[in-house]
Structure 1
Amino acid sequence: MSERYHPALYQASTTATTRILGWDPVSCAIGITQTVYPAARPNAVLLARPDYYPEVLAATRLMHHPFDAALLFTEDDRLEDSVSRELIRLSPRGQGLPGHVIVIGAMHARTLHDLADLGFTPWPLSGQDLWETVEQIADLELGEHHGHALLVSADPSAGGTVAGGYAAHTGAPILFASEQGLYPSTVRFLKKRPRTRVFVASPEARLSAKLSSDIRDLGSKLEAWVGGADPYDMAVKFAKFRHKSRFGWGRREGSKAPVTLVPMEPWPIGAAASALSYRGKFTPLLLTKRDALADPVEDFLRTLGSRGDAESPQGHGFIVGGFELVSYPVQMRMHRALTE
């Protein structure tokens, strides 16, 4: 049985790592909003259930201006007390929007009543099914994505969560595909917007090899496929990637640029962590297992480190989740990679 680590015995943060505590998607999302919005008020709050990956990941683009939204989760048929308290603390302004709280997808009627009882106006953003909701989110005009769109696998195990950080950073829409091809919502989006520059973020084995021709047939272009051997490797390549059109993070050796490490599972934690990619630190997302830091991730972190120069500032990384989600040994490996 693995040893249990607790903040009473092990510090949650180090000089090179800041851990945002939480034990599940609901508590981690609250920890992130308290970190990103400790004093300022967001313009809106996204309220979603941590059940439907495409809806939640697509909604990360609404963290960008002018929505400037924080993301909270609810799992019950009514608002959890902790979520209600955080909503009151955040007190979203709702400036220029139909409501203070953007409700993503289907939500229990009691939850909507709870929002009203707290004095918030809900703005339901929901279609007939989750794919129509995804399409509605992609159709909203915002950001500075310059005709770019991200395309990921609809299976969260492919690591497309990392695209949420860049969507939050730029407002770029997120589209979906599978091994069988483009989803109908993606086809409809590209038909409405010919000449879209599509960037794929997925290991090559997880999506159809016909994507390029399918996208071309719709009048757009697959500009680049950021792949890798697995989701962990892909996340590193995505953090490094920079296109001539200025799409991508472009993190380079010795940059000291901060990053955020999130657990591969549960995936909603990575979606909530996308807020760190937009406000404050502008961090790309990297993925980890609970008890193991993948070699490509550790190697990449090492390139961001201090290079042994005592006069040089260290690299820095956020870790989202308590010790039961991202273990203390993984944090120590991250710390050493950034400092040695």
Structure 2
Amino acid sequence: MRKFIKAGIVSIATVLALSGCLNNSNNSSEDGMGSQGMDHQTGQAPGSAQNQLVTNTPWIASKNTTRINTSDPVEAAILVSRTLWMATSDDNRPGSVILANPEEWQTALAAADLIHHPSNGPVLFVNQERIADSTLNELKRLNPKGVEMNNGIQVILVGNLDPKVEEQVKRLGFKTDKIEGSNPAAVAKEFDAYYAKVAQEIPSSVIVGSMDSMEYTMPAVNWISHMPEPLLYVKKDEIPQETAGALQTREGKANIYILGPESVISAQVEEQLKQYGRVVRIAGNDPFENAIAFAKYKDKGTDFGWGITTPGHNFSFVSLDSPVLALAAAPFSHLGKHAPLLWTSKDRMPDSVMSYVMSVRPKYKDSPTEGPYNHAWLTGSEDVISLAAQGEIDSMLEIVSESGEGHGGHGTASETPRPANPDGGTGGHDSHNMPGMEH
């Protein structure tokens, strides 16, 4: 990356730097959730160009992608918050902010149901015992308005946090509320009840996910950040009593969407869930295909699901090597260009992901100014999503000619194969109509 900057080559990334964004980013490291060995004056690891980039260039954009340029969950949550809630006026300040511990991923995931309503606000990360200074500074910047229909609450603390965390928030003068639970199923039930109390209605549809398989359950986070349906937890072969209790409030009329294959939620559990309502399974053979299946699914009867099978959409890419970053990126489905979650790998899109993205590639008839356009958020620095991977995603999102001719009819598009894998393969498909030829 240093070589990239020294050479002055801006072939893919337009760097958008906002100074002073994370002046206290070293504090998240002190809490055990960031890079170790940080210089407490500069906020950088000594001699580390990557950490300098995280601090000084938090956003990196190409023509079709925007990267949240950190792999620290605490910093990522702050940057997502800054991207979506500018907090320059009451119109773009959040109602309330959710504080969660990313190490309790089941709690943080289920808490996303409160992002849209009642909060209209982000999830920021804390550890069990304290809040990093950088997160406290972000709370001050956001200055949440308080949610009138939720008794003016400005900060919601979720999970099993030390009382000292709430004390830090109260010292800022914010009105707080707490949602706790003894286990993932119990806290998910509490979120369901909290939402129903504030909204004064119980959503008839629910997502049921595995409390033991983060990679299969995590795609739910973007949908529940966007829509009222909650996430409830099961084990592979068991429905916890707390989940059963939450489903019973639907009086046998629930629309239950299982997320994940039988390898993580058994056919036995699927059959048992039928006593609470209609059951549909959304699944893929691996985590990549599972996320794609959810992005494509639409229940026309209930309007549940993204149903993205045509061009003109946004996606949120997170590396499966760092799944906790999906928790920080969840609000990208709530404001701006709403986006479902897609898993990717560090250096390239897996074949299944590439095929799906290509299937919804935008095409124009006469001019690229017609649109539609695709875009993607990428969350993570180059240690989890490489620059080459960003370039591949950017290319596959580019609008191309419907006819295969170049921009303005100058020449025709060529069939450019995807770069070979190290083993000599091409990944199972060709990258047809590369935009560099058509534009």
- The residue correspondences of 1:187-226 to structure 2 (distance < 5 A) are 187-194=244-251, 195-217=253-275, 219-222=276-279, 224-226=280-282
Cα distance in structure 2, aligned partners of 1:151 and 1:76 = 27
Amino acid at match of 1:14: S
The correspondence for 2:217, drawn from 142, 160, 176, is 160
Cα distance in structure 2, aligned partners of 1:232 and 1:29 = 23
> For structure 1, which segment, 191-200 or 302-311, has the greater mean C-alpha deviation from structure 2 after superposition?
302-311
Aligned residue for 2:226?
169
Cα distance in structure 2, aligned partners of 1:291 and 1:159 = 21
The answer as to whether partners of 1:236 and 1:300 remain within 8 angstroms in 2 is yes
Q: Helix, strand or coil: the match of 1:132?
A: helix
Of structures 1 and 2, the larger Rg is shown by 2
Tell whether 2:387 aligns with 1:335.
Answer: no
Aligned residue for 1:283?
339
Cα distance in structure 1, aligned partners of 2:3 and 2:254 = 48
The correspondence for 1:45, drawn from 86, 97, 109, is 97
Task: Give structure 1 stretches of 5+ with no counterpart.
Answer: none
Q: Helix, strand or coil: the match of 1:69?
A: coil
The answer as to whether partners of 1:5 and 1:323 remain within 8 angstroms in 2 is no
Tell whether 2:74 aligns with 1:20.
Answer: no
Aligned residue for 2:140?
88
Aligned residue for 1:299?
355
> For structure 1, which segment, 104-113 or 307-316, has the greater mean C-alpha deviation from structure 2 after superposition?
307-316
Tell whether 2:289 aligns with 1:233.
Answer: yes
Aligned residue for 2:384?
325
The answer as to whether partners of 2:185 and 2:232 remain within 8 angstroms in 1 is no
Q: 1:226 to 1:48 in 2, by over 3 A?
A: same
Cα displacement (A) at 1:8? 4.0
Report the TM-score, using the length of structure 1 for normalisation: 0.91
Amino-acid identity (%): 26
Q: 1:71 to 1:55 in 2, by over 3 A?
A: same
Cα distance in structure 1, aligned partners of 2:186 and 2:3 = 43
Q: Helix, strand or coil: the match of 2:117?
A: coil
Q: Helix, strand or coil: the match of 1:293?
A: coil
Cα distance in structure 2, aligned partners of 1:67 and 1:107 = 20
Amino acid at match of 2:264: R
Amino acid at match of 2:106: P
Tell whether 2:91 aligns with 1:32.
Answer: no
Aligned residue for 2:21?
none
Cα distance in structure 2, aligned partners of 1:167 and 1:7 = 39
Tell whether 2:109 aligns with 1:61.
Answer: no
Aligned residue for 1:186?
243
Q: 1:317 to 1:184 in 2, by over 3 A?
A: same
Cα distance in structure 2, aligned partners of 1:118 and 1:41 = 17
CA deviation profile, 1:317-339 (whole Å, cap 9, x unmatched): 11111112222122111112112
Report the TM-score, using the length of structure 2 for normalisation: 0.71
What RMSD over aligned residues (CA atoms) do the two structures have, in Å?
2.2
Number of aligned residues: 334
Q: Helix, strand or coil: the match of 2:190?
A: helix
Cα displacement (A) at 1:168? 1.2
Aligned residue for 1:121?
175
CA deviation profile, 1:71-113 (whole Å, cap 9, x unmatched): 0001262211110110001111112224311000111222211
CA deviation profile, 1:202-245 (whole Å, cap 9, x unmatched): 1332111113320123x3220x2111111111111111111122
The correspondence for 2:156, drawn from 95, 102, 106, is 102
Cα displacement (A) at 1:167? 0.7
Cα displacement (A) at 1:145? 8.2
Q: Helix, strand or coil: the match of 2:61?
A: coil
Cα displacement (A) at 1:175? 1.0
Q: 1:5 to 1:135 in 2, by over 3 A?
A: farther
The answer as to whether partners of 1:260 and 1:319 remain within 8 angstroms in 2 is yes
Task: Give structure 2 stretches of 5+ with no counterpart.
Answer: 14-59, 399-433, 435-439
